[in-house]
Structure 1
Amino acid sequence: MTGPETFEGTVLVGREFDPVEGRVVVEDGTVTAVEAAATGSSDVILPAFVNAHTHIGDSIAKEAGGGLSLDELVAPPDGLKHRLLRDASHDETVEAMRRSLQFMAETGTAAHVEFREGDVDGVEAIGEAVADVPIESVVLGRGSIDAMEHPSSDGYGASGARDGDFDAARNATRRAGKLFAIHAGERDPDDINAAMDLDPDVLVHMVHPDPVHLDRLSDAEVPVVVCPRSNLVTGVGVAPLRELLDRTTVALGTDNVMLNSPSMFREMEFAAKLTDATAVEVLRMATVNGAEIADLDCGLIEEGRPGPVVVLDGDSDNLTGVRDPVRAVVRRAGASDVKRIVR
């Protein structure tokens, strides 16, 4: 148990992130008060991020595979990442993941949704990696159904409908009351209908939806996680964010650590500058939308809601003089502006 702590500045409140000059009181991990008041503080206080799609195991091979195609990089079973994962020792993989998780925690990420390679061993490895890191891992096992049924697994993360038959895994997650997520529409639209036929809880990427797929999304209200930096690096394009936002819940993920740092600041900036999504929409994608997809109770600053919250130094060389704090968080802020993570 900890006593109440008070933080002053511009507070981004609720789902609209209304900028309110005032203070936030946090006690034992819960926001107990949000008060409007003149404070004189230039700090910006926002909810911590939820990174809605990661492959943290790829931390063993950062920046490997330059110039390779998507399939050459990540397609199972013999894409570069899978070969490198097989060759890495257990201890090497755990330590590499721990370092990436620590970076995420230090840069404002409260939780992430992990597609965890390595079957049961992979699920157990990330449990080891995250044990001493202040971040929540929502783990979606891959491989056998045993990976999903492991006590530390929160569901199943399927590679894509063209890669195999996932009916059994989908049925098992449904029986267990766990999440089923699947990559779809990353390089072309050909696997989207088959993925949606599985009635997934989450679709990842959706770079190439046809109008019929957008209609299905709207009807089924299946959430989508987009990963713009990863899609650019692999040359598959940029998801039609406006069309997706107009039809369903959209969250933001950083995807493979092999290709990109797991920085939600960088991912937000890309999403905002590459598309016509508003700063409020992008910040929502990086916080409460990811939380809701993962069934987590975080991502908003409201009285009675759990934290954590991020305090940015509004007087940093980067942020001083900012006129629009939400745009500044989404398009300008970075790791060096983080003053405090309040958990």
Structure 2
Amino acid sequence: MYESFYNLQGRPFQLTPDPRFYFSSRTHKKAMAYLSYGLNQGEGFIIVTGDIGTGKTTLVRHLFDTLDRNEFIAAMIVSTQLSAEDLLRSVVAAFGLDAQADDKGQLLSRLERHLREQYAMGRRALLVVDEAQNLSNAALEEMRMLSNFQEGDKALIQSFLVGQPEFRERIFAAPELEQLRQRVIATHHLEPMEQEELAYYIEHRLRLVGWDNDPCFTVDAVEEIYNQCQGVPRRLNTLCSRVLLYGALEEIHEIDADVIRAVVSDMATDQRPVQAVSSARPVQSQIPPPVNRQNDATIPLEASGGKSVEEMENRMDKLENMMKSQDETLQKLTSIMAQLAAGGSKGDDS
């Protein structure tokens, strides 16, 4: 909806991780340096952690886009509560192999044979596990065992483990993971974006969808966005997407701090429970008085209406899907109307 109003070629702040929109903030640049270091080492484990919404998955997908496919075969699995054997099946499947087997030994043999074939062709294997905090200690031990696959003194597979902060704490605290700890060659924790990076982040995403300075974000708007989101990319995307929708509905071309506060207030209202209107009361009595936007207090996104930011993000996901569906429906209706009009014109001519 707002794309057409602002002449954009897509949605710049979508919540789905997309490597095209990767932004090299200081913390992401450092993480990429550690990942590159790990690739050069060609062995061991690299651990990258970060809070929810800090861009871990986008980072990993960006890494995949930069890999030379003549040098690497790469696979990624998103971890759920997997047993050690289920993890092994997931790894085998992620490398494009048949994960059906009568026993674990067959799976290991199949995977090892594949890795040796790739190594003989000059390709190294990289496995990335996202949401690694969901792995059990037994599954992590299974991953360590996979790192024993070697050709001479060269490891056949290298693993990057990406997860939330508690994963890093568990790795370095659990006695039974000592052998895995000894094979960790680098770790990095993704921090939120710094305030001075935010304007560049917003412009970077907008330009990727054809932005031509419409809308314009003022300096105080960028500052207010940062105050609300504290530099967490997913929160920034959630708020900025809603800001563009609000701007299009209100036909605003300059986004200032007042607009940001108005949108935050609206988002807070979205989270409040809706009370049913009694049939015994006139509907007019349920209409609230007009809201004076100038006097609205800034409402942090973390605790709007007692709901978590994840719930707001889920609501935004649903809203975006609804908008996309409505746009597609309108396009179909427009096409049908055009066909009917063309048919009517032919009938008139006859």
TM > 0.5: no
If the TM-score is normalised by the length of the shorter chain, which range does it land in? under 0.3
Q: TM-score, normalised by structure 2?
A: 0.26
Greater helix proportion = 2
| Between structures 1 and 2, the one with greater strand share | 1
In our comparison, the structure showing a higher alpha carbon Rg is 2
